Structures are given as structure tokens and as C-alpha cells.
Amino acid sequence: MAREGAKIAIVYLEEHKDADETIAAVEREGSRAIKVAGDVGDEQFCRDAVDQTMKAFGRLDILVNNAAEQHETEDFREIDRRQIERTFRTNVFSFFFMTKHALAHMHRGASVINTTSVTAFQGHKTLLDYAATKGAIVAFTRSLSEALVEQGIRVNAVAPGPIWTPLIPASFEPERVAKHGASAPMKRAGQPNEVAPCYVFLACEDASYMSGQVLHPNGGNVVGS
């Protein structure tokens, strides 16, 4: 995004060092970035993040809803209400909150991009609550696309497969991490820079005739759209 000239607001929970490194990477591309730390499951924080973005840059053209958490559970019966509520608050409620407040500043030509997952299409036996949230995001994307099409605001999604991100070692035991991506047809996990172009494409005018769609950078898994 920075390479294409976008100014970026980075919203994150508590990974301050990572946020600083990301800002430095944005600046190396000749652009600007700000960081906003907080919990996107809190609607007031989402409002504040949008306000800080507007204060810094004066406009908001692209919203990427990307926050997520997952908790592997071998026995479905062990998934308790607290885990379900926490996962849905981070993975789904945040999308509603952030989009609601961002839309107050978005105009014709703007783009909303939501991160879903291959698990929304294939399921996952040990990530039931996570997969359920990702299915909800697909429905949210399609419905919001219809709601905003007359305003000229496009809404699409990206459904990554196994990608190397900090979420992986944070979610799984080392032996599972070592095999991450091995089941994909390409026999490997993807890198973040193999996913990022999907977001850039959906954000820009090259995708002007696409809304309500899902892109699938997943290592060759054929899934229903």
C-alpha cells in the first residue's frame, strides 16, 4: 500500500515494536504512517482510531479489516462461552464497529476489504469458533457490498490459506508449526508478500468492477466462491 502512495494508519493491540518496524518500512517507501494501539473489540476504540486517522490524514479511502484471534481446541465440547464470545468480538464485532465509524468519512470510490480465511470454505476441525467467524465475514462482505453499491463504495474480501504470520506460532504447538502449509497443493505455507497484492488490487481502481467478491491466495486449494 505504501509503495502505491497510501498513507497508513496501523491499528494493533499491544505489539509496539512490530508497529514501529512497520512504520519504518512504510517510511522507507516514501510514505507516512501512524500507529493506534487498542482493542478493536471495543467500539469506542474503533471510533477513536478512525478519528485519529482523520486527524492525521484528513481522509479515509481504504479500510482493511484484518484483526483476528484463534484458539485450537481438540474437543468441541471444551469450547466455552467465554472463548466463543472473545473470538467473535475480535473477529466479527470489530469489523462492524470499524466499518460503521469509517463509513462516516468514506466517499464514492472508497474500498472496504475484509480478511476471511480458507477455513470459511473448507472448515477446520480444531478451529470451530474461528472458522465460524470467518464464514460470518464472507456473509458480511457480500451483504455490505449490496448495501453500499449505490454509494459507489466497493466491499470485497481476501481468504488466505496457510500463511506465515505471528498468529501461527502463537496458536499451535511447535510440531504443528513445523508442518504449517504442508497440506496445501503447493506443499508449503505462503509468505505475507504473496497475500498483500490481493489487498492492493482490491483497493485500487483496477478492481473497479469487483464488489462482494473473495480472492483466494491459498497455495492451490480449490474452494467454492
Strands, sheet with 154-158, edge to edge from the N-terminal-most edge strand: 62-65, 111-115, 154-158, 214-215
12, 130, 199, 209: which one is catalytic?
130
Non-local (6+) Cβ contacts of 179 within 8 A are: none
Residues 211, 156 contacting (CB under 8 angstroms): yes
3-state secondary structure 11-76: EECCCHHHHHHHHHHHHHCCCCEEEEECCCCCHHHHHHHHHHHHHHHCCCCEEEECCCCCCCCCCH
* Sign of the four-CA dihedral 84, 90, 92, 94: positive
| Residue 95 CA to its chain's centroid (Å) | 9
Return the SS3 of 79. Answer: coil
- Rg of the chain (C-alpha set): 17
Query: Catalytic annotation on 130?
Result: yes
Tell me the catalytic residues: 130
